[in-house]
Amino acid sequence: MPDDCPRPLDFETRQIHAGAVVDAETRARVTPIYQTAGYVFDDFDDGEDRFAGRSRYRAYSRNDNPTNAVAGRRIADLEGGVDGIVVSSGQAAIAAAINALAEAGDHILATRSLYEGTREMFRGILKRQGIAFEYVDDDATDEEWAARFRPNTKAVYTETLPNPLNQVVDIERLAGIAHAAGVPLVVDNTVPTPYLWRPIEDGADIVVHSTSKWLSGHASVIGGAVVDAGRFDWAAHADRFPQLTEPPRPGVASFVERFGAGAYLAYLRSVIVLEYGPTVPALSTFLLLHGIETLSVRMDRHVANAQAVAEWLAERPEVARVYYPGLPTDPHHTLAQKYLPLGPGSIVSIDLAGGQEAARRFLDALQLISPMTHIGDVRTLAIHLGSTIHAKLTEEERLDAGITPGLVRLSIGIESPRDIIEDLRQALEA
């Protein structure tokens, strides 16, 4: 992008140009697929400098590939962060973000309304690694939140628009609570994407994404991303985050001393991602970049279709409840108007009055809509949650999470809204 632009470029322009570097040798306009494991050193000293982080050139593609670097910078630019990195999946992004902050014996506070795959990882592999997660109701009072913090609490974790029930989270309030306790706010912004919501503007410190969803948009790749806002004062909380504020070994400056505002992302890239190796293939990132270029156009259509579908479903006698904050009757409508003026995403969940048997007949009758596990596709998708994503929970746990027997999640695509509604009509009549 031009450095002498008289004003900041608009989102629709940056989603195409941000982070891109024209290939020096071929002058290719589209970011190439750098399908390589490593990079030739100019000489002995160059190799030493690359491994020491003193060179702008790369050492190895496990944590630094030119195609992937463009995507990381672009997503960070769209979110309003200082830098970003892409990894192999959304789950890998969450795990990497948490592992860069916490270790065995540490504690994370999280909002109760989270995607079940995230909760499964928190109570599973991360718990086995010794990290404790404690859940707090999204709408708990400031005093209730404050009482849950411990000396070893390392972050507050939440989602902007939790899947599947669309409980809009008050990010500005949570950021204030986290910062008062001296910890960063980590936010999963997958569902709205930075086109609809940029939580860094509301105080978030670290943003994660499953890039498999709306960012890539076509259900053709798996990937994730972590973005650093570059605003959290790690040095002011040195005792809590020694991995960033203390020298990693004698004679080497700390990450904060070397990288300043980008210390967290530098640590995540050069330690967590390098050592765990959740590398995303350059070809997948190439497809992700193509998806990001049309993000705003697709999201406008996704939201318009979702609103039309939600309004239609709200009038159907077969549907006991519609979960979509674009409806004035939704309990999160007011917060959606504050944080999501362009629309509250394209997840529409419905509770069928006939329970699981009605959900079975409904899903089996779909013709245009695909019954499958995924969201954010250009195609409309549907899934019964109690028998799939939440099947490992007990009935009591499912009900506590709001997963009723008749709950079906719809990820509304960009097909003709008339055709989507017609398929829903014939399936509901079944």
Segment 302-338, tens digit of pLDDT: 999 999 999 999 999 999 999 999 999 999 999 999 9
For the beta carbon of residue 219, count every other beta carbon within 10 angstroms.
19
Burial label for 224, CB within 10 Å (0-12, 13-18, 19+), is: buried
Q: How confident is the model at residue 60, as a pLDDT?
A: 83
Same domain? For 253 and 305 the reply is: no
In a domain, 4, yes or no: no
Residue 229 half-sphere exposure toward CB, CA atoms < 13 A: 20
- The yes-or-no verdict on residue 23 having pLDDT over 80 is no
Helix (H, G, I), strand (E, B) or coil at 319: strand
Segment 155-191, tens digit of pLDDT: 999 999 999 999 999 999 999 999 999 999 999 999 9
Q: What is the CATH number of the domain that holds 282?
A: 3.40.640.10
Mean pLDDT of 214-225: 97
Same domain? For 21 and 38 the reply is: yes
Same domain? For 15 and 163 the reply is: yes
Mean pLDDT of 401-428: 97
Task: Tell me which of 242, 264, 291 is where a domain ends.
Answer: 291
Task: Tell me which of 291, 319, 346 is where a domain ends.
Answer: 291
Work out the mean pLDDT of the chain and round it to a whole number. Answer: 95
CA distances from 145 to 64, 171, 178, 182, 223 (A): 38, 14, 9, 13, 32
Q: Are strands 407-411 and 347-352 parallel, antiparallel or unpaired?
A: antiparallel
Same domain? For 252 and 337 the reply is: no
Same domain? For 174 and 322 the reply is: no
C-alpha span between 258 and 236 (Å, rounded): 16
Same domain? For 277 and 302 the reply is: no
- Distance linking the first and last C-alpha atoms of the chain: 53
Task: Tell me which of 227, 256, 291 is where a domain ends.
Answer: 291
Percent of the chain with pLDDT over 70: 99
Mean pLDDT of 204-223: 97
- The yes-or-no verdict on residue 224 having pLDDT over 90 is yes
Which one is predicted more confidently, 22 or 123? 123
In a domain, 413, yes or no: yes
Number of domains composing the chain:
2
CB 319 within 8 A of CB 293: no
Mean pLDDT of 111-121: 95
Same domain? For 328 and 272 the reply is: no
In a domain, 76, yes or no: yes
Q: What is the CATH number of the domain that holds 355?
A: 3.90.1150.10
Q: How confident is the model at residue 80, as a pLDDT?
A: 98
Q: How confident is the model at residue 49, as a pLDDT?
A: 86
- The yes-or-no verdict on residue 2 having pLDDT over 70 is no
Segment 50-109, tens digit of pLDDT: 888 787 778 888 888 999 999 999 999 999 999 999 999 999 999 999 999 999 999 999
CB 192 within 8 A of CB 344: yes
C-alpha span between 148 and 145 (Å, rounded): 5
Same domain? For 240 and 323 the reply is: no
In a domain, 77, yes or no: yes
When mean pLDDT is compared across 172-181, 247-256, 356-365, 412-421, the lowest value belongs to 247-256
Q: How confident is the model at residue 405, as a pLDDT?
A: 97
Predicted structure pTM score: 0.94
Mean pLDDT of 397-414: 96
Q: Give Cα 297 to chain centroid, integer Å.
A: 19
Residue 56's domain comprises 11-291
